Structure 1
Amino acid sequence: MPSLVLLRHGESAWNAEDRFTGRVDVDLTPRGEDQARRCGVLLREAGLVPDRSHTSTLTRAVRTGALALAAAGRPLVPARQDERLDERGYGALEGLTRGEVRDRHGSAQYQRWRRSWDAAPPPAFRGGVRRTGESLADVAARLRPCWEDALAPDLRAGHTVLVTAHSNSLRALIALLDQLGPEEVLDLEVPIATPLHYALDGHLRPLVPGGRYVRHDPLPRGSGPAIHP
Structure 2
Amino acid sequence: MTTSLFHQAVGTIQAQGCSKSSQKGFGSLSVKLGLGGSRVEVGLSRRGSGCSAGWKLSVIQASSSNTSVADPVSSPSNNKSSEIRKKSNEAALILIRHGESLWNEKNLFTGCVDVPLTKKGVEEAIEAGRRISNIPVDMIYTSALIRAQMTAMLAMTQHRRKKVPIFLHNENDQARAWSQIFSEETNKQSIPVVAAWQLNERMYGELQGLNKQETADKYGTEQVHEWRRSYDIPPPNGESLEMCAKRAVAYFKEHIEPQLLAGKNVMIAAHGNSLRSIIMYLDKLTSQEVISLELSTGIPMLYISKEGEYIRRGSPVGPSEASVYAYTRAEIRRNVALNGYIRTYYLLHYTVPVVLEGKSTYKEVKYYKILVLRGGY
TM range (shorter): 0.7 to 0.9
CA offset digits 1:8-61 (Å, max 9, x no partner): 0011100111111000000111221111111111111xx213121000000000
| Cα contact 1:178–1:209 (8 A) shared by 2 | no
d(CA) in 1 for partners of 2:112 and 2:148?
11
Give the aligned partner of residue 37 of structure 1: 126
Q: Which residue identity is paired with 1:107? A: T
d(CA) in 1 for partners of 2:300 and 2:144?
19
Say which SS state the counterpart of residue 100 (structure 2) adopts.
coil
Give the aligned partner of residue 217 of structure 2: 103
d(CA) in 2 for partners of 1:138 and 1:31?
30
Alignment of 1:209-228 (within 5 A): 210=315, 213-215=323-325, 217-218=343-344
Higher RCO, 1 vs 2 (CA within 8 Å, ≥6 residues apart): 1
Say which SS state the counterpart of residue 205 (structure 1) adopts.
strand
Give the aligned partner of residue 273 of structure 2: 168
For the aligned residue pairs, the C-alpha RMSD in angstroms reads: 1.9
d(CA) in 2 for partners of 1:198 and 1:147?
14
Give the aligned partner of residue 147 of structure 2: 60
In structure 1, stretches of 5+ residues that fail to align are: 124-132, 221-229
Say which SS state the counterpart of residue 311 (structure 2) adopts.
coil
Give the aligned partner of residue 69 of structure 1: 156
CA offset digits 1:177-197 (Å, max 9, x no partner): 011110111110111000000
Shift of residue 150, structure 1, vs aligned partner? 1.0
| Cα contact 2:300–2:323 (8 A) shared by 1 | yes
Shift of residue 4, structure 1, vs aligned partner? 0.3
Aligned residues: 209
Instruction: Return closer, same or farther for 1:145/1:189 CA change in 2, 3 Å cut-off.
Output: same
- TM-score normalised to structure 2 length: 0.53
The structure whose residues are more often helix, as a share, is 1
Which among 191, 195, 210 is matched to residue 81 of structure 1? 195
Shift of residue 74, structure 1, vs aligned partner? 3.0
| Cα contact 2:302–2:312 (8 A) shared by 1 | no
Q: Flag the structure with larger Rg.
A: 2
Q: Is the aligned partner of 1:94 residue 2:208? A: yes
In structure 2, stretches of 5+ residues that fail to align are: 1-89, 166-190, 317-321, 326-341, 347-377
d(CA) in 2 for partners of 1:111 and 1:65?
30
Q: Which residue identity is paired with 1:39? A: A
CA offset digits 1:92-143 (Å, max 9, x no partner): 11111110110111010011011100010002xxxxxxxxx00000011102
| Cα contact 2:314–2:323 (8 A) shared by 1 | no
- TM-score normalised to structure 1 length: 0.86
